[in-house]
Amino acid sequence: MTARETLPILGFLVAAVLVSLFVTSNVVLNFLVFALILAIAAQGWNLLGGYGGQYSFGHAAFFGMGAYVSAILQQRFGVNAYPAAAFGVAAAALLGYAIGAMVFRAGLRGSYFALVTLAFAEVLRILANATEITGGAAGLLINLNLGAGNLQFANRSSFLILGAMLLALAMQITLALEKSRIGAQLVAVRENEAAAAALGVDILAVKLRAISLSAALTGAAGALYAQYFLYIDSNIAFGTWISVEALLAPIIGGAGTVFGPLIGALILQGLSEGTKMLIGKIPGVDLIIFGVLLILVVRFPLHRIPGLFAARWRGKGAP
């Protein structure tokens, strides 16, 4: 990995800082912060699904684990927000490893893997909704205590910079993985698992590393969500919405690429807000639109579009 390869990530950070300095609209800043949270979760999904070909439908499990552990440690045990968030990320990574150890050892993949991850997320949602320490159905409210030392900021610009820094770190991790031996093995597993095993790749070890890192990044997004809104409940933390959007964003923006999740997250957020403005805040309307979008993307993959244009250009006799 060279310095030149990291320049786009640095450029993204500079752009985020400039936006935080010159944009004063809370509506725009809230849109961007939420898009960044989604992009971090999508970057986590991208490591497992985009690079590893293991399509999870239950990344809400990791998002919710990061959010709840961070919030519970702060609210119930008085732990400072920084170590609480770190524990949230670690808990999500451990959950990812545990799920991977059970599922991958059983040889589940494809649609079976997707359904099992969805089931884990739903079980956690039900448990969180019925457990006292999580606040049950009422949810959990984090006490307002403004200050950088408590990871709480009075303005959205600070959260924008924080979100951009976390996403830049996630991008850097993804880029490092892409250029590493483990990354090459992960792509080999995605392309042909049997061939990769024949070449000596430890399939189980590669998958466990991928799902653990994927869960950690998604858990970080959950912890950031909890700090930004200072409230979570089971339907927010473990809801289907985050699993759907974390999956859709990289697929739309470009699965298996560093910037794909960010591009997809911005498109999804723009589509969601535009839909609400045109149709109104009808519950679930955005998920309907996302479902239609997913069908279209599967039917007409976006990664084929440049190739189609190139083929048509060559057909016209261009050199």
Torsion sign over Cα 142, 147, 153, 154? positive
Kindly indicate the confidence band of residue 303, based on its pLDDT and cuts at 50, 70 and 90: very low
- pLDDT (tens digit, 9 = 90+) per residue, 254-296? 899 999 999 999 999 998 888 777 776 666 677 777 777 777 7
Phi-psi region of 78 (alpha: psi -120 to 50; beta: other; left: phi over 0): left
Evaluate whether 211 touches 99 at the Cβ level (below 8 Å).
Answer: yes
d(CA 213, CA 47): 8
Q: For the chain, how many residues are written?
A: 319
Q: Which domains does the chain have, with CATH numbers?
A: 3-315 (1.10.3470)
Average pLDDT, the chain: 89
Q: What contacts 298, CB < 8 A, 6 or more positions away?
A: none
Token pair 């739309």 is found at 252
Structure confidence at residue 295 (pLDDT)? 75
d(CA 93, CA 217): 8
- pLDDT (tens digit, 9 = 90+) per residue, 84-143? 999 999 999 999 999 999 999 988 888 899 999 999 999 999 999 999 999 999 999 999
Kindly indicate the confidence band of residue 305, based on its pLDDT and cuts at 50, 70 and 90: very low
Kindly indicate the confidence band of residue 311, based on its pLDDT and cuts at 50, 70 and 90: very low
Q: What contacts 273, CB < 8 A, 6 or more positions away?
A: 31
d(CA 39, CA 50): 14
3-state SS of the chain is CCHHHHHHHHHHHHHHHHHHHHCCCHHHHHHHHHHHHHHHHHHHHHHHHHCCCCCCCCCHHHHHHHHHHHHHHHHHHCCCHHHHHHHHHHHHHHHHHHHHHHHHHCCCCCHHHHHHHHHHHHHHHHHHHHCCCCCHHHCEECCCCCEHHHCECCCHHHHHHHHHHHHHHHHHHHHHHHHCHHHHHHHHHHHCHHHHHHCCCCHHHHHHHHHHHHHHHHHHHHHHHHHHHCEECHHHHCCHHHHHHHHHHHHHHCCCCCCHHHHHHHHHHHHHHHHHHHHCCCCCHHHHHHHHHHHHHHHCCHHHHHHHHHHHHHHCCCC
Structure confidence at residue 220 (pLDDT)? 98
